[in-house]
């Protein structure tokens, strides 16, 4: 290895060292420590006691964990198809030449950059059963008032609506970028062949957009699995565990009940679930599921 | 998730420090003279208008002498303060004094993290513990040892919408004294004729200290005396829950807590509701109708939970800090400062001499509603001291919602009791 080459190597390491150090200290090391903790029983004050896989076994025998798994799955099923389909439609609309387009883009993207904690407080007022705006609107068009956050089943539905509101803009922007990456020659060819709009969308846009759609879907699943802020602010996992999704369940066990070992085990199960979806993205996202 | 893992590592790192710090010999505290200047911290959870009177007392204390400097640190709500205090304690660097809410002390006691105050009290001839009301002190007493002194103590009282009482032909000066009466009154008050603004006789909700009061009033117990056995799946407690359920099913009562519940109180939709005596100021600020305060001792057994918090002294601090902390604690709970604190916050005084002072008696004369909490104080009882109480409380609260709102069988409490029993062991 020549001197110059060695120096280049050193420079390279120097340049990447800040992120490596930050990631090691704040991400990788805590991950390893959490793994170790997950095999222990530890309430912060007492000494740590090794318990093997007991935390993991206990988790899958615990009604409350299974409930939080159920809540998370329903939340994912409720948010993922809706946000992705809505985002595709919005992206296609925004890809047209419309007057004031940037205004719509800003409006659609605004929820993404809004602080979730602040928005959640506003939503709490909107969903208020007696004086809330949403029930007021429902009543004024002759629909029955809902109990929203006060009902164990409706509360999750309300949170799903908030989740959709928050994420649709992000997905739309990614899909819009995907749309604009489709070469215009296909559209021109289709036009010459006399294809109508619906044919163009079905035969050209949707297939050529599929890698981006796939990416957006996977990212949305991961984001939905990690839902936390809206739950903390709006429901605290209640009523009666109706919105107790895994991240909140984890938080509760760690920082309210101080069951650090058990909470770390829950964190690792959540990590494993998210990791599976990440692998899916890596494996199939690379293969580019389309016909280009 | 990343943030949680990051906090875990932080905790992990500080825990090694804790082992090191915990190894130091803890000396028997003597009430010796301080010779060097000491700076100590007190953590508290009293936000907004409550922190100003406390900071004023701290400032006066610092100005009154030269050796000790007290720094007050607001740490967020009750639960947040407890979390931070645990982390600091594990890190070996806790503040020497901290406020803790009545039901959040169990973990500290179980792990021997608090300094008992008896040595200070014994050695300090100028401090008379007998002046404190014993019902309030029991909230900070664990297995016969006193660990804290009261700051913002309260009990839940029954707030009455006197206008609604009159409108339904009820005598607003005749408050219900039993749950059966409360039910009869509520039936008369409840009015669903305007669907946009339904009126309920009573508002019930599953806040920890309210349901604990309810259970005790029906003769139920959560745990046995030495906290080794779960007793909350008893017939008495199931009856209590079913009693509430009956009222809610008949739309005589509404099951609604939190901000929405308070909003209903303010909108005159509620005939009776149990809330903290500390809410008197809230009612003055938010309520336009004529309202009264009655004792919330409605059951077969007269009982109300103690609420609010006490100030505790933490271990892993130096004898000098503890000595200085005692000096401040004594100052904070002096008769004069309790009067000042109570007048400015609405929380209870805990010294008999403060209670009998002209300033406090004058308040009762002007507004007898402030006195009700003291009248029911003989029936006050402390909150559970089980370390796992926050988790058990959550399970009971969830079960109540399942039973009352979703119509689940009341016997789901048996399964929950079994789980809670495991947590005790």
**What is the 3-state secondary structure of chain A?**
CCHHHHHHHHHHHHHHHHHHHHHHHHHHHHHHHHHHHCCEECCCCCCCEECCCHHHHHHHCCHHHHHHHHHHHHHHHHHHHHHHHHHHHHHHHHCCCCCCHHHHHHHHHHHHHCCHHHHHHHHHHHCCCCCCHHHHHHHHCCCCCCCHHHCHHHHHHHHHHHHHHHHHHHHHHHHHHHHHCCCHHHHHHHHHCCCCHHHHHHHHHHHHHHHHHHHHHHHHHHHHHCCCHHHHHHCCCCCCCCCCCHHHHHHHHHHHCCCHHHHHHHHHHHHHHHHHHHHHHHHHHHHCCCCC
Q: Which residue among A30, A43, A238 places its CB closest to the CB of B8?
A: A30
Domain annotation covers residue B11 = no
Please report the pLDDT score of residue A292 as a whole number: 47
How many CB atoms are closer than 10 A to CB B373? Answer: 26
Q: And the tokens for A226?
A: 């990690």
Residue A172 has pLDDT above 90, yes or no: yes
Q: And the tokens for A101?
A: 């387009």
pLDDT in tens, B12-48: 544 444 444 443 444 444 566 788 899 999 999 988 7
Domain annotation covers residue B51 = yes
Residue A190 has pLDDT above 50, yes or no: yes
The total domain count for chain B is 2
CB contact under 8 A, A152 and B406: yes
Q: Write down the residue that tokens 């032909």 correspond to.
A: B169
Domain annotation covers residue B2 = no
> Does B325 share its domain with B215?
no
> Does B129 share its domain with B67?
yes
* Residue-range definition of the domain harbouring residue B280: 156-305+388-424
Q: And the tokens for A14?
A: 């120097």
Q: Are A74 and A82 in contact (CB under 8 A)?
A: no
Q: If you average pLDDT over every residue of chain A, what do you get?
A: 89
Domain annotation covers residue B27 = no
pLDDT in tens, B253-300: 999 988 888 989 999 999 999 999 988 888 998 999 999 999 999 989
Mean pLDDT of all residues in B340-361:
92
In what helix (H) or strand (E) does residue B200 lie, and over which residues does it extend? strand B200-204
**B200 contact A CB<8A:** no
pLDDT in tens, A216-232: 999 999 999 999 999 99
Q: Write down the residue that tokens 């390893």 correspond to.
A: A32
Looking at beta carbons, which residues of chain A come within 8 Å of B9?
26, 29-30, 33-34
* Burial (0-12, 13-18, 19+ Cβ within 10 Å), B273: buried
Q: Are A205 and A96 in contact (CB under 8 A)?
A: no
Q: ipTM surpassing 0.90, yes or no?
A: no
Domain annotation covers residue B10 = no
Interface of A with B (CB under 8 A): 26-27, 29-31, 33-34, 37, 43-46, 64, 124, 128-131, 139, 150-152, 226, 238-241, 247, 250-252, 254-260, 263-264, 267, 270-271, 274
> Does B207 share its domain with B99?
no
Q: What is the DSSP letter of B406?
A: T
Domain annotation covers residue B271 = yes
Q: What is the CATH number of the domain that holds B375?
A: 3.40.190.10
Domain annotation covers residue B410 = yes
Mean pLDDT of all residues in B152-159:
94
Cα of B125 to nearest chain A Cα, Å: 35
Cα of B8 to nearest chain A Cα, Å: 6
Q: And the tokens for B220?
A: 């139920």
pLDDT confidence band for B236 (50 / 70 / 90):
very high
CB contact under 8 A, A150 and B260: yes
- State percent of chain A over pLDDT 90: 55
Alpha helices (H) in B254-366, listed in sequence order: 258-266, 280-286, 319-332, 335-345, 352-355, 358-366
Q: Which residue among A33, A251, A271 places its CB closest to the CB of B9?
A: A33
pLDDT in tens, B33-91: 788 899 999 999 988 778 899 999 999 999 999 899 999 999 988 988 998 998 899 88
> Does B193 share its domain with B294?
yes
How many CB atoms are closer than 10 A to CB B110? Answer: 17
> Does B376 share its domain with B347?
yes
> Does B345 share its domain with B267?
no
Q: Which residues contact B10 (CB under 8 A, 6 or more apart)?
A: A30, B87
pLDDT in tens, A91-135: 998 888 778 888 888 889 999 999 999 999 999 889 988 778 998
Beta bridge partners of A170: none
Mean pLDDT of all residues in A29-56:
91
> Does B121 share its domain with B219?
no
Chain B residues 268-287 with a CB less than 8 Å from chain A = 269
Looking at beta carbons, which residues of chain B come within 8 Å of A257?
388, 390-391
Alpha carbon A251 to chain centroid distance? 17
pLDDT confidence band for B4 (50 / 70 / 90):
low
pLDDT confidence band for A288 (50 / 70 / 90):
low
Residue A36 has pLDDT above 90, yes or no: yes
Mean pLDDT of all residues in B161-173:
93
Looking at beta carbons, which residues of chain B come within 8 Å of A254?
4, 8
> Does B68 share its domain with B213?
no
Please report the pLDDT score of residue B164 as a whole number: 94
Please report the pLDDT score of residue B314 as a whole number: 96
pLDDT in tens, B292-313: 999 999 989 999 999 999 999 9
Mean pLDDT of all residues in A245-249:
96
Query: Would residue A83 be called left, alpha or beta, if left means φ above 0 and alpha means ψ between -120 and 50 degrees?
Result: alpha
Q: How far apart are CA B331 and CA B339, in angstroms?
A: 12
> Does B146 share its domain with B174?
no
Cα of B40 to nearest chain A Cα, Å: 23
Q: What burial letters (b/e) apply to B181-206, b meaning 16+ CB within 10 Å?
A: ebbebbbbbbbeeeeeeebbbbbbbb
Please report the pLDDT score of residue B28 as a whole number: 45
Domain annotation covers residue B119 = yes
Please report the pLDDT score of residue A195 as a whole number: 87
> Does B137 share its domain with B54?
yes
**What is the reported pTM?**
0.81
> Does B225 share its domain with B299?
yes
3-state secondary structure of B398: helix
> Does B120 share its domain with B160?
no
């Amino acid at each position: 290895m020549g001197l110059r080459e060695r120096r280049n190597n050193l420079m390279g390491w120097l340049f990447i060292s800040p992120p490596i150090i930050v990631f090691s200290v704040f991400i990788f090391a805590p991950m390893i420590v959490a793994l170790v903790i997950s095999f222990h029983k530890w309430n912060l004050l007492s000494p740590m006691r090794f318990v093997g896989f007991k935390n993991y076994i206990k988790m899958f025998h615990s009604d409350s964990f299974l409930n939080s798994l159920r809540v998370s799955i329903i939340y994912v099923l409720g948010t993922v198809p809706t946000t992705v389909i809505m985002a595709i439609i919005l992206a296609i609309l925004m890809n047209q030449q419309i007057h004031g387009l940037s205004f719509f883009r800003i409006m659609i993207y605004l929820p993404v950059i809004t602080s979730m904690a602040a928005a959640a407080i506003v939503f709490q007022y909107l969903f208020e059963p007696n004086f809330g705006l949403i029930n007021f609107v429902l009543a004024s068009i002759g629909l029955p008032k809902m109990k929203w956050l006060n009902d164990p089943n409706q509360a999750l539905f309300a949170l799903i609506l908030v989740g959709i509101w928050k994420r649709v803009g992000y997905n739309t922007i990614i899909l819009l970028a995907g749309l604009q990456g489709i070469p215009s020659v296909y559209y021109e060819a289709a036009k010459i062949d006399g294809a109508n709009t619906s044919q163009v969308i079905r035969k050209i846009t949707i297939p050529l957009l599929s890698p981006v759609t796939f990416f957006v879907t996977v990212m949305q699943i991961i984001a939905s699995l990690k839902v936390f802020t809206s739950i903390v602010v709006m429901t605290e996992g209640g009523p009666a565990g109706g919105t107790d999704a895994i991240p909140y369940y984890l938080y509760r066990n760690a920082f309210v009940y101080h069951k650090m070992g058990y909470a770390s085990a829950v964190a690792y199960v959540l990590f494993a679930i998210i990791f599976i979806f990440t692998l899916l993205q890596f494996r199939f996202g690379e293969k580019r599921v389309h016909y280009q | 998730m990343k943030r949680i893992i990051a906090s875990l590592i932080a905790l992990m790192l500080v825990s090694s420090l804790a082992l090191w710090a915990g190894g130091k010999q803890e000396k028997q505290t003597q009430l010796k003279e301080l010779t060097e200047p000491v700076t100590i911290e007190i953590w508290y959870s009293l936000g907004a208008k409550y922190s100003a009177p406390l900071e004023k007392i701290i400032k006066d204390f610092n100005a009154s002498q030269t050796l000790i400097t007290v720094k007050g640190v607001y740490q967020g709500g009750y639960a947040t303060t407890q979390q931070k205090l645990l982390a600091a304690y594990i890190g070996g660097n806790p503040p020497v004094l901290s406020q803790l809410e009545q039901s959040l002390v169990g973990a500290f006691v179980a792990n021997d993290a608090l300094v008992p105050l008896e040595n200070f009290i014994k050695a300090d001839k100028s401090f008379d513990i007998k002046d404190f009301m014993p019902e309030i002190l029991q909230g900070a007493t664990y297995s016969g040892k006193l660990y804290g002194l009261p700051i913002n103590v309260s009990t839940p009282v029954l707030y009455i919408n006197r206008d609604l009482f009159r409108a339904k032909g009820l005598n607003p000066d005749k408050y219900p004294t039993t749950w059966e009466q409360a039910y009869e009154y509520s039936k008369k008050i409840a009015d669903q004729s305007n669907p946009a603004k339904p009126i309920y006789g009573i508002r019930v909700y599953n806040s920890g200290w309210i349901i604990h009061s309810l259970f005790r009033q029906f003769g139920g117990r959560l745990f046995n005396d030495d906290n080794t056995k779960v007793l909350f799946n008893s017939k008495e407690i199931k009856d209590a829950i079913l009693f509430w359920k009956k009222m809610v099913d008949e739309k005589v009562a509404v099951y609604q807590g939190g901000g929405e519940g308070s909003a209903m109180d303010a909108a005159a939709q509620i005939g009776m509701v149990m809330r903290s005596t500390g809410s008197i100021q809230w009612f003055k600020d938010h309520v336009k109708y004529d309202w009264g305060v009655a004792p919330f001792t409605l059951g077969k057994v007269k009982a109300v939970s103690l609420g609010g918090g006490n100030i505790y002294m933490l271990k892993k601090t130096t004898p000098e800090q503890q000595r200085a902390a005692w000096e401040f604690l004594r100052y904070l709970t002096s008769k004069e400062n309790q009067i000042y604190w109570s007048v400015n916050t609405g929380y209870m005084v805990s010294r008999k001499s403060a209670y009998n002072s002209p300033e406090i008696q004058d308040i009762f004369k002007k507004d007898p509603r402030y006195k009700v909490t003291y009248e029911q104080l003989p029936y006050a009882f402390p909150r559970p001291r089980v370390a796992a109480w926050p988790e058990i409380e959550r399970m009971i609260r969830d079960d109540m919602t399942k039973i009352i709102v979703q119509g689940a069988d009341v016997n789901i409490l048996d399964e929950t009791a079994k789980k809670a029993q495991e947590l005790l062991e």
